[in-house]
Amino acid sequence: MLGVQTIGNATLIAYDDVPILATDPWMGGDHYAYFGSWYLPYDIPNNIKEDITKSKYIWFSHGHPDHINQDSLNLFKNNKILVSEHFGSRIYKDLKSENFNVSVLKDREWINLSKNISVMSITTDIQDGILLLRVNNDIFVNLNDAGPYSSKFIKKQISKFRRRFLLSISTFEADMLNFFDEDDNFIKPANADKFSAGEYLSMISNVLGTNYIIPFSSIHEYQREDSIWVNKYIYPIEKYHEDISSKHTYIKPFSFINSKKDDDFININIKKRKLEIKSADSFGDNWKDELNIHDKKIIEDYFNKFTSFREKIGFISFIIGGKEHNLKFNGPKNKGISFELPRNSLLQACKYNIFDDLLIGNFMKTKLYNLRSLYDPSANFSNEI
């Protein structure tokens, strides 16, 4: 057995007779992400779960909980953990402190994992990691959430391979949707009505020079009562093949790619789970809970660490339990952001430095005052938190 199995959300398993490498293993079931907002709607078969846990190496691309899932993480105490050479080494240090056997892959260097499998890690400016995976004479470009960073370098590295596979995120709803303007009007995503996953994946494939496309890092749904509204924006898995360029061969999610034989792609037909809507309370979030004095100090200390946007906006306000708590900054007084969310998730985000996860969970309401977005260069908010 020599090849690659894709499964779950952003997991692939590379086999060289035995499972050698598994990436970003979020195992699903009752393992959730983003404060319980996300779940895996397709169960991973038990035999493939066993192969994931038996893999000699586990590679984590970045810190988001659909990639390093805290519920799944402890299954890998006996594996060799590989991470990219991220700035600051936070993931490496955190895993090391929890006694994982973890190593950093030197950036842009090929490392042999077995006779027929080698990998190259490429770090990005957004603290994500891209993995080039060689299996026999095939090359797999695992972009996960990173996008086409270092495209010229990647294109050159993979050009000598005849079969070049792209694995990439291909949705837009995970990029934070719960936004409103100062008049409390919902800001509908600009591409909500015209987005085509097939066109997007073909475009990325053209940039990198791949000739096979596998949807990846996009297989999730929302289950919290305060976030299930986002499910209507999730791109249907059965439409991914539409608009794929004729230059590219489309491979369905949850497929095995045989690296010994051309055109041997075996798809697992996994039935979708029925959505079970879960309360915010079941994840420790009561929307009626209010902040106390100690809570306010935690929030203030967290946001006062970020110096850049403090000079560019005038305020951030938090609406917790129906009451507002304001932080004043040095920028224009009419520019600011308000966040409405439950107390518990806010405090957890501040404690563990994961405020970005609240935005992706999409149950927190974000209101923008005289800002185009959190990426607005006049604020620079998303680049700091």
Query: Over 70: is that where the pLDDT of 235 sits?
Result: yes
**Banded model confidence at residue 140, pLDDT cuts 50, 70, 90:** very high
Phi and psi angles of residue 350, each rounded to the nearest 5 degrees, phi first: -70, -40
Query: Over 80: is that where the pLDDT of 257 sits?
Result: yes
Phi and psi angles of residue 338, each rounded to the nearest 5 degrees, phi first: -120, 140
Give residue-wise pLDDT tens across range 58-104.
999 999 999 999 999 999 999 999 999 988 889 999 999 999 999 99
Query: Over 80: is that where the pLDDT of 383 sits?
Result: no
Query: Over 80: is that where the pLDDT of 384 sits?
Result: no
Bridge partner residues of 258 (DSSP): 3
Provide CB contacts within 8 A for 286, sequence distance 6+.
280, 342, 343, 344
**pTM listed for this prediction:** 0.94
SS3 111: strand
Are β-strands 323-328 and 315-320 bridged in parallel, bridged antiparallel, or unpaired?
antiparallel
Judging by beta carbons within 10 Å of its beta carbon (0-12, 13-18, 19+), is residue 10 exposed, middle or buried?
Answer: buried
State residue 306's pLDDT score: 81
Sort residue 136 into left (φ over 0), alpha (ψ -120 to 50) or beta.
Answer: left
Best CA proximity match to 121, nearest among 135, 136, 106: 106
Q: What is the mean pLDDT of residues 295-321?
A: 91
Q: What CA–CA distance (Å, rounded) separates 129 from 150?
A: 11
Bridge partner residues of 334 (DSSP): none
State residue 354's pLDDT score: 93
Q: What is the mean pLDDT of residues 191-209?
A: 91
Of the listed ranges 62-76, 183-197, 366-380, the one predicted with least confidence? 366-380
Give residue-wise pLDDT tens across range 314-365.
999 999 999 999 999 989 999 999 999 999 999 999 999 999 999 999 999 9
Query: Over 90: is that where the pLDDT of 134 sits?
Result: yes
**Pair 12, 142: CB distance under 8 Å:** yes
What interhelical angle do 343-352 and 293-303 show, nearest 10? 40
**Higher-scoring residue by pLDDT: 257, 234:** 257
State residue 127's pLDDT score: 82
Are β-strands 163-168 and 129-135 bridged in parallel, bridged antiparallel, or unpaired?
unpaired
Q: What CA–CA distance (Å, rounded) separates 216 from 195?
A: 17
State residue 176's pLDDT score: 80
Which helix (H) or strand (E) is 203 found in, with range?
helix 197-208
